[in-house]
Amino acid sequence: MKKYLPDFLKPAIRYVYYRQQRAKVAREPGIRRKQDELIKQFDPSAERLIVYLVEGADWDTGIDKISGGIISIVSFCEESRALRSLHGAEVIMCTLPRQHLLLKHTWFRNDTDVFRSSQLKQYFTAVKEVVFHIPEYVTEYFSDCLHRGEFSWLDKVKKVQVNIMNQNIRLMPPAWVIQELRQQVTLVTMTTAHQQYCTHAYRKAWGIPLHKLSVWISPEKYFFKPYPDKQDLIVVSPDDHPARESIMKQLYSLKNIRVQVIRNLTYEQYKATISEAKWALTFGEGLDGYFIEPILSGAVGFAVYNEEFFTGDFKDLATVYPSYAVMENDMARDLERLDNERDFPVYQRSQFERCAAHYSHEQYGKNIAAFYRGEYTFP
């Protein structure tokens, strides 16, 4: 029935049936007014524009969502803004078309206002070049927006580049989606968060320039606490996994360890929590924030090795297991074995050094600058 309704009737129907729509109608006019004021910080006559496109507010809550991915995107945006002398562009963050409006990401500290994508056409009237940065999982959605004419103003723009921010290779679209996008814009490129999928083989498979970006993570950003100052706490990622239930049951049975699943924390609260924890367990990608950030805060991390994200130098770490079956069998014993002032610091240092070797804010900044110079890792 809904698909036969005229588009102009759908908002009214949603208003009647959904409390979320009623809240949206009350909330968004104020956001629009604020966005219309805040956009005046930018030069309306700018000829170059760098646009970061993100998801909008959550439908149920009306606020933003937090994830390592969105923190990375906001960081990339803010680092790009600091490179104005290099690229000469205005740098702005917008929600994708047809998304619920969002004014700012509130779960972590940042200086980035969020605008609606429709403001771009209305405000920037002299644009000749645009670089869009889009998360990997919205590539097909963005291509559909182009098809629907929601960025029709780009027809008058001389150069349109779309950069796919590949932060998780498992979320990448099929190759045909990328090829279709290539037909719609001047240039498509890709930046990667992990070394493992920034290779010549992937450059060839995707058929677009590929550049290693990395992420904002680096040792100096965390509150490192040594073993004597740690609590008997293990922090656990919220990711779903078939082995999660059995492993969590085992952890809860350990009387000397408190278990905390990371949920509903601001980023600063999260950083404070992981600094207290002795241990950290991820059910996610493995080489992710739930593994790296606690290690940089002085914890010992537990994960399962995979070749999609981990580089080979992590493979020989005792608590980076070859499978979840091995993790379930060995983890309790490893927790007991390492929980002393002699063995914990030695092993923790080995994990810390592996992570620190791959994550440097200085190198991250250099990688971003190289991107804007067009000096891609695999052109």
pLDDT in tens, 336-365: 999 999 999 999 999 999 999 999 999 999
Q: How open is the CA angle 36-87-147, to the nearest 5 degrees?
A: 60
- What is the distance between the alpha carbons of residues 283 and 242, in angstroms, rounded to a whole number? 10
Give me the CATH code for the 44-217+361-372 domain, please.
3.40.50
HSE-up (13 A, CA, CB side) for residue 42? 33
Q: Does 198 have pLDDT greater than 90?
A: yes
Mean pLDDT of 104-115: 95
Please state, in angstroms and as integers, the Cα–Cα distance from residue 96 to each residue in 30, 51, 150, following that order: 19, 11, 10
- What is the distance between the alpha carbons of residues 282 and 180, in angstroms, rounded to a whole number? 35
- What is the distance between the alpha carbons of residues 303 and 321, in angstroms, rounded to a whole number? 6
What token pair was written down for 205? Answer: 């498979």
pLDDT digit string, tens, across residues 285-324: 999 999 999 999 999 999 999 999 999 999 999 999 999 9
Question: Whose CA is closest to 108, among 143, 80, 72, 155?
Answer: 72
| Those residues with Cβ within 8 angstroms of residue 172's Cβ, 6 or more apart along the chain or in another chain | 136, 137, 139, 166
**352, 314 in Cβ contact below 8 A?**
no
- What is the distance between the alpha carbons of residues 368 and 348, in angstroms, rounded to a whole number? 30
**265, 276 in Cβ contact below 8 A?**
no
CATH superfamily of 219-358: Glycogen Phosphorylase B; (3.40.50.2000)
Mean pLDDT of 5-31: 69
When pLDDT is cut at 50, 70 and 90, the band that residue 239 belongs to is very high
Q: Does 123 have pLDDT greater than 70?
A: yes
pLDDT digit string, tens, across residues 37-78: 999 999 999 999 999 999 998 878 888 888 888 999 999 999
Prediction pTM value: 0.89
**355, 292 in Cβ contact below 8 A?**
yes
Which residues in the chain are classed under CATH 3.40.50.2000?
A: 219-358
Question: Whose CA is closest to 135, among 91, 93, 81, 103?
Answer: 93
What token pair was written down for 89? Answer: 């562009």
- What is the distance between the alpha carbons of residues 91 and 114, in angstroms, rounded to a whole number? 11
For residue 27, the model assigns a pLDDT of: 76
| Those residues with Cβ within 8 angstroms of residue 264's Cβ, 6 or more apart along the chain or in another chain | none
For residue 1, the model assigns a pLDDT of: 45
Measured in Å, how far apart are the chain's first and last C-alpha atoms?
A: 49
